[in-house]
Amino acid sequence: MADTRTVFFVSDGTGITAEAWGAALLSQFDTSTFENHTIAFVTNVLDAEKTVQRIDRANVPGQRPIVFSTTVDQDIKNILSTSKSLFIDLFDQTLPTLELELGVKSAPIKGSAHGISNATKYQQRMAAIEYSIEHDDGQSLRALDQADIILVAPSRCGKTPTSMYLSLQYGVKAANFPIVDEDFNTLKLPASLEKTSDKAFGLISTPQRLQTVRSERRPNSKYASIEQCRFEIDSAMHIFEKYKIPYLDSSTKSVEELASVAMDIKGLRS
Count of residues of this chain found to bind a copy of itself when the rule CB under 8 A is applied:
78
> What letter does residue 63 receive in the DSSP assignment?
B
Per-residue HEC secondary structure of 173-203 comes to CEEEEECCHHHHHHCCCCHHHHCCHHHEEEE
Alpha-carbon dihedral sign for residues 44, 48, 51, 57: negative
Please give the residues from 199 up to 218 whose contact with a copy of itself meets the rule CB under 8 A.
none
Q: Which stretch binds a copy of itself (CB under 8 A): 38-46, 187-195, 220-228, 238-246?
A: 38-46
How far apart CA 30 and CA 26 sit, in angstroms, is: 8
Nearest distance in Å: CB 142, a copy of itself: 13
Which positions from 39 to 68 touch a copy of itself by CB under 8 A, shown as an x/- string?
-xx------------------------x--
Residue 24 lies near a copy of itself (rule: CB under 8 A): yes
Give the number of other CB atoms < 10 A from CB of residue 28. 7
Separation of alpha carbons 66 and 140, rounded Å: 48
Q: What are 4's strand-pairing partners?
A: 33
Name which of 64 and 235 has its Cβ closer to a copy of itself: 64
From 52-60, 90-98, 195-203, 227-235, give the range in contact with a copy of itself by CB under 8 A: 90-98
Q: Which residues of 77-116 are buried (b: 16+ CB within 10 A; e: fewer)?
A: bebbbebbbebebbbeeeeeeeeeeeeeeeeeeebebeee
Non-local (6+) Cβ contacts of 59 within 8 A are 65, 84, 85
**Binding residue (CB under 8 A) for a copy of itself from 8, 165, 201, 240:** 165
CB-wise, 53 or 186, nearer to a copy of itself?
A: 53
Residue type, 257: E
State in angstroms the smallest separation of the CB of 264 from a copy of itself: 6
The stretch near a copy of itself (CB under 8 A) out of 123-131, 178-186, 203-211, 234-242 is 123-131
Least distance from a copy of itself to the Cβ atom of residue 194, Å: 26
Residue from 67, 90, 150, 200 in contact with a copy of itself (CB under 8 A): 90
Point out which span in 88-96, 172-180, 188-196, 223-231 binds a copy of itself (CB under 8 A).
Answer: 88-96
User: CA torsion, points 144, 145, 147, 152, in degrees to nearest 10?
Assistant: 60
Q: Which of 56, 59, 91, 251 binds a copy of itself (CB under 8 A)?
A: 91
Q: Binder to a copy of itself among 42, 55, 72, 144 (CB under 8 A)?
A: 72
Residue 35, SS3? strand
Distance CA 224, CA 207 (A): 10
Q: Between 46 and 187, whose beta carbon lies closer to a copy of itself?
A: 46
161 near a copy of itself, judged by CB under 8 A: yes
